[in-house]
Amino acid sequence: MENYTKNVDKFLFSTKGAIKFYLRKATIEDAKPIFDLSNENLVRENSINQKKIMWENHLKWLPNKLCDNNCFYLLAFTPENLFIGQIRFDVSEKETTIGISITKEFRGKGLSADILIHSAGLFFKNYPQVKNIVAKINKDNEASLNTFIKAGYIYSHKESINNNEFLVFKLVRNNEN
Ligand SMILES: CC(C)(COP(=O)(O)OP(=O)(O)OC[C@H]1O[C@@H](n2cnc3c(N)ncnc32)[C@H](O)[C@@H]1OP(=O)(O)O)[C@@H](O)C(=O)NCCC(=O)NCCS
Protein backbone atom coordinates (compact mmCIF):
# COMPACT_ATOMS: atom_id res chain seq x y z
CA MET A 1 0.00 0.00 0.00
CA GLU A 2 1.27 3.50 -0.86
CA ASN A 3 2.37 5.74 1.96
CA TYR A 4 0.15 8.69 1.08
CA THR A 5 1.28 12.20 1.84
CA LYS A 6 -0.98 15.07 2.81
CA ASN A 7 0.85 17.27 0.34
CA VAL A 8 -0.87 16.91 -3.02
CA ASP A 9 0.87 19.93 -4.49
CA LYS A 10 3.76 17.53 -4.91
CA PHE A 11 3.49 15.06 -7.80
CA LEU A 12 2.46 11.53 -6.96
CA PHE A 13 3.29 8.94 -9.56
CA SER A 14 1.74 5.55 -9.84
CA THR A 15 3.51 2.94 -11.90
CA LYS A 16 0.87 0.20 -11.97
CA GLY A 17 -0.21 -0.66 -15.53
CA ALA A 18 1.21 0.47 -18.86
CA ILE A 19 0.35 4.16 -18.57
CA LYS A 20 1.79 6.08 -15.65
CA PHE A 21 -0.06 8.98 -14.11
CA TYR A 22 0.26 11.53 -11.37
CA LEU A 23 -2.37 13.30 -9.32
CA ARG A 24 -2.38 16.89 -8.20
CA LYS A 25 -4.90 19.38 -6.90
CA ALA A 26 -6.90 21.32 -9.50
CA THR A 27 -6.21 25.06 -9.85
CA ILE A 28 -8.01 27.89 -11.59
CA GLU A 29 -5.60 27.50 -14.51
CA ASP A 30 -7.24 24.15 -15.21
CA ALA A 31 -10.62 25.81 -15.82
CA LYS A 32 -10.73 25.10 -19.58
CA PRO A 33 -9.76 21.39 -19.60
CA ILE A 34 -12.11 20.77 -16.65
CA PHE A 35 -14.92 22.59 -18.50
CA ASP A 36 -14.36 20.64 -21.74
CA LEU A 37 -14.31 17.29 -19.97
CA SER A 38 -17.30 18.06 -17.75
CA ASN A 39 -19.34 19.13 -20.77
CA GLU A 40 -18.77 16.01 -22.85
CA ASN A 41 -22.02 14.21 -23.68
CA LEU A 42 -21.10 10.95 -21.92
CA VAL A 43 -20.02 12.82 -18.80
CA ARG A 44 -23.21 14.90 -18.65
CA GLU A 45 -25.40 11.83 -19.35
CA ASN A 46 -23.88 10.03 -16.39
CA SER A 47 -24.03 12.96 -14.00
CA ILE A 48 -26.75 13.66 -11.48
CA ASN A 49 -27.33 17.09 -13.06
CA GLN A 50 -27.37 16.35 -16.78
CA LYS A 51 -27.68 19.91 -18.08
CA LYS A 52 -24.86 21.37 -20.21
CA ILE A 53 -22.59 23.74 -18.28
CA MET A 54 -22.23 27.37 -19.37
CA TRP A 55 -18.69 28.81 -19.39
CA GLU A 56 -19.78 31.86 -17.34
CA ASN A 57 -21.31 29.63 -14.68
CA HIS A 58 -18.24 27.43 -14.67
CA LEU A 59 -16.06 30.47 -13.99
CA LYS A 60 -18.18 31.28 -10.95
CA TRP A 61 -18.51 27.70 -9.75
CA LEU A 62 -14.89 26.57 -10.04
CA PRO A 63 -13.17 29.21 -7.84
CA ASN A 64 -15.74 28.52 -5.14
CA LYS A 65 -15.04 24.80 -5.29
CA LEU A 66 -11.28 25.35 -5.24
CA CYS A 67 -11.35 27.39 -2.05
CA ASP A 68 -14.00 25.24 -0.37
CA ASN A 69 -12.41 23.10 2.35
CA ASN A 70 -15.21 20.60 1.86
CA CYS A 71 -14.11 19.93 -1.69
CA PHE A 72 -11.03 17.90 -2.59
CA TYR A 73 -10.46 18.32 -6.31
CA LEU A 74 -7.79 16.23 -8.02
CA LEU A 75 -6.64 15.96 -11.62
CA ALA A 76 -4.72 13.10 -13.21
CA PHE A 77 -2.01 13.62 -15.84
CA THR A 78 0.52 11.53 -17.68
CA PRO A 79 4.18 12.20 -16.81
CA GLU A 80 4.18 14.24 -20.07
CA ASN A 81 1.38 16.41 -18.61
CA LEU A 82 -1.42 15.15 -20.84
CA PHE A 83 -4.74 15.57 -19.05
CA ILE A 84 -6.23 12.19 -18.13
CA GLY A 85 -9.17 13.08 -15.94
CA GLN A 86 -10.71 14.55 -12.83
CA ILE A 87 -11.78 13.19 -9.46
CA ARG A 88 -13.80 15.31 -7.04
CA PHE A 89 -14.75 14.61 -3.45
CA ASP A 90 -17.51 16.71 -1.89
CA VAL A 91 -17.78 16.47 1.87
CA SER A 92 -21.01 17.30 3.69
CA GLU A 93 -22.43 16.47 7.09
CA LYS A 94 -24.59 13.77 5.54
CA GLU A 95 -22.03 12.06 3.30
CA THR A 96 -18.90 12.41 1.17
CA THR A 97 -19.50 11.83 -2.51
CA ILE A 98 -16.97 11.12 -5.25
CA GLY A 99 -17.17 11.69 -9.00
CA ILE A 100 -14.69 10.72 -11.70
CA SER A 101 -14.45 11.40 -15.40
CA ILE A 102 -11.72 10.41 -17.82
CA THR A 103 -11.02 12.19 -21.11
CA LYS A 104 -12.02 10.41 -24.32
CA GLU A 105 -8.37 9.84 -25.24
CA PHE A 106 -7.67 7.90 -22.04
CA ARG A 107 -10.94 5.98 -21.60
CA GLY A 108 -10.96 2.21 -21.86
CA LYS A 109 -7.27 1.87 -21.00
CA GLY A 110 -7.82 0.41 -17.56
CA LEU A 111 -6.59 3.50 -15.72
CA SER A 112 -9.63 4.52 -13.77
CA ALA A 113 -9.60 1.96 -10.91
CA ASP A 114 -5.96 2.82 -10.08
CA ILE A 115 -6.79 6.52 -10.21
CA LEU A 116 -9.72 5.96 -7.83
CA ILE A 117 -7.60 3.93 -5.42
CA HIS A 118 -4.83 6.54 -5.22
CA SER A 119 -7.31 9.42 -5.02
CA ALA A 120 -9.10 7.79 -2.08
CA GLY A 121 -5.75 7.25 -0.33
CA LEU A 122 -4.93 10.95 -0.65
CA PHE A 123 -8.44 11.96 0.33
CA PHE A 124 -8.51 9.89 3.52
CA LYS A 125 -5.10 11.25 4.50
CA ASN A 126 -6.36 14.83 4.12
CA TYR A 127 -9.77 14.27 5.74
CA PRO A 128 -9.09 12.13 8.82
CA GLN A 129 -12.64 12.70 10.13
CA VAL A 130 -14.31 11.07 7.11
CA LYS A 131 -15.04 7.39 7.51
CA ASN A 132 -16.41 6.50 4.10
CA ILE A 133 -16.85 7.70 0.53
CA VAL A 134 -20.05 7.31 -1.47
CA ALA A 135 -20.29 6.88 -5.26
CA LYS A 136 -23.71 7.34 -6.92
CA ILE A 137 -23.62 5.56 -10.24
CA ASN A 138 -26.26 5.52 -12.96
CA LYS A 139 -27.50 1.92 -13.09
CA ASP A 140 -26.72 1.67 -16.83
CA ASN A 141 -23.17 3.02 -16.54
CA GLU A 142 -21.34 -0.29 -16.81
CA ALA A 143 -17.86 1.22 -17.19
CA SER A 144 -18.31 3.18 -13.99
CA LEU A 145 -19.85 0.27 -12.06
CA ASN A 146 -16.92 -1.95 -13.08
CA THR A 147 -14.41 0.74 -12.17
CA PHE A 148 -15.73 1.42 -8.68
CA ILE A 149 -16.13 -2.29 -7.89
CA LYS A 150 -12.55 -2.88 -9.03
CA ALA A 151 -11.40 -0.04 -6.76
CA GLY A 152 -12.98 -1.75 -3.73
CA TYR A 153 -16.33 0.07 -3.47
CA ILE A 154 -19.18 -2.09 -2.13
CA TYR A 155 -22.84 -1.87 -3.21
CA SER A 156 -25.03 -0.25 -0.56
CA HIS A 157 -28.49 0.65 -1.94
CA LYS A 158 -30.49 2.27 -4.74
CA GLU A 159 -31.44 5.94 -4.89
CA SER A 160 -33.79 7.68 -7.29
CA ILE A 161 -32.52 11.17 -8.18
CA ASN A 162 -34.18 13.43 -10.79
CA ASN A 163 -36.15 10.40 -12.04
CA ASN A 164 -32.99 8.41 -12.71
CA GLU A 165 -32.00 5.33 -10.77
CA PHE A 166 -28.56 5.41 -9.17
CA LEU A 167 -26.75 2.57 -7.46
CA VAL A 168 -24.94 3.76 -4.35
CA PHE A 169 -21.55 2.22 -3.60
CA LYS A 170 -19.37 2.84 -0.54
CA LEU A 171 -15.69 2.72 0.25
CA VAL A 172 -15.01 2.41 3.97
CA ARG A 173 -11.77 3.76 5.45
CA ASN A 174 -9.56 0.85 6.49
CA ASN A 175 -6.60 0.60 8.86
CA GLU A 176 -4.15 1.44 6.08
CA ASN A 177 -5.78 4.79 5.24
C1 LIG B 1 -16.56 5.71 -15.97
C2 LIG B 1 -15.15 6.01 -16.43
C3 LIG B 1 -14.46 6.91 -15.42
C4 LIG B 1 -14.40 4.67 -16.51
O5 LIG B 1 -13.11 4.90 -17.00
P6 LIG B 1 -12.51 4.07 -18.20
O7 LIG B 1 -11.14 4.54 -18.46
O8 LIG B 1 -13.45 4.14 -19.34
O9 LIG B 1 -12.52 2.60 -17.63
P10 LIG B 1 -11.35 1.54 -17.60
O11 LIG B 1 -10.71 1.40 -18.94
O12 LIG B 1 -10.46 1.84 -16.45
O13 LIG B 1 -12.18 0.21 -17.32
C14 LIG B 1 -12.81 -0.06 -16.09
C15 LIG B 1 -13.65 -1.30 -16.22
O16 LIG B 1 -14.84 -0.99 -16.94
C17 LIG B 1 -14.93 -1.81 -18.10
N18 LIG B 1 -15.45 -0.97 -19.16
C19 LIG B 1 -14.82 0.08 -19.76
N20 LIG B 1 -15.64 0.64 -20.68
C21 LIG B 1 -16.77 -0.09 -20.64
C22 LIG B 1 -18.01 0.00 -21.34
N23 LIG B 1 -18.21 0.95 -22.25
N24 LIG B 1 -18.97 -0.89 -21.03
C25 LIG B 1 -18.78 -1.85 -20.11
N26 LIG B 1 -17.64 -1.98 -19.40
C27 LIG B 1 -16.65 -1.10 -19.66
C28 LIG B 1 -13.54 -2.29 -18.38
O29 LIG B 1 -13.55 -3.48 -19.10
C30 LIG B 1 -12.98 -2.42 -16.99
O31 LIG B 1 -13.40 -3.62 -16.37
P32 LIG B 1 -12.43 -4.88 -16.32
O33 LIG B 1 -11.21 -4.42 -15.59
O34 LIG B 1 -13.25 -5.88 -15.59
O35 LIG B 1 -12.13 -5.21 -17.73
C36 LIG B 1 -15.10 6.67 -17.83
O37 LIG B 1 -15.69 5.83 -18.77
C38 LIG B 1 -15.78 8.03 -17.89
O39 LIG B 1 -15.15 9.05 -17.67
N40 LIG B 1 -17.08 8.03 -18.22
C41 LIG B 1 -17.84 9.28 -18.31
C42 LIG B 1 -18.09 9.89 -16.94
C43 LIG B 1 -18.68 8.91 -15.97
O44 LIG B 1 -19.50 8.10 -16.30
N45 LIG B 1 -18.23 9.02 -14.72
C46 LIG B 1 -18.69 8.19 -13.62
C47 LIG B 1 -19.80 8.83 -12.91
S48 LIG B 1 -20.22 7.88 -11.46
CATH number of the domain enclosing 35? 3.40.630.30
Exposed/middle/buried for 120, CB within 10 Å: 0-12, 13-18, 19+? Answer: buried
Residue 167 lies in domain: 12-172
Cβ-based neighbour number of residue 168 at 10 Å: 17
The reported pLDDT for the residue numbered 138 is 94
Q: What is the pLDDT of residues 65-97, one digit of tens each?
A: 999 999 999 999 998 899 999 999 999 999 999
Q: Is 7 part of any domain?
A: no
122 is a domain residue: yes
Computed over every residue of the chain, the mean pLDDT equals 91
Q: What is the pLDDT of residue 148?
A: 98
Give the pLDDT band (50/70/90) at residue 9: low
In a domain, 72, yes or no: yes
pLDDT > 90? residue 124 = yes
- Kindly state whether residue 75 falls inside one of the protein's structural domains: yes
Would the pLDDT of 130 be above 80? Answer: yes
Helices in 2-104 by DSSP H: which ranges? 31-38, 41-45, 55-66
Q: Is 177 a member of any domain?
A: no
Residues with CB under 6 A from ligand 1: 42-43, 46, 99-102, 107-113, 135, 137, 141-144, 146-147, 150
Q: Could you tell me if residue 4 is inside a domain? A: no
Residue 10 reports pLDDT greater than 60: no
Residue 142 Cα to ligand 1 middle (Å): 7
In the chain, how many domains are there?
1
Residue 99: what are its φ and ψ, rounded to 5°?
-135, 145
pLDDT at 158 > cutoff 70: yes
Examine residue 102 and state whether it is found in any structural domain, yes or no. Answer: yes
Ligand 1 centroid to Cα of residue 147, in Å, is 6
Cα 149 to ligand 1 centroid, rounded to whole Å: 11
Nearest CA to ligand 1 atom 40: 101
Distance 108 CA to ligand 1 centre (A): 6
- Would 5 be classed as within a structural domain? no
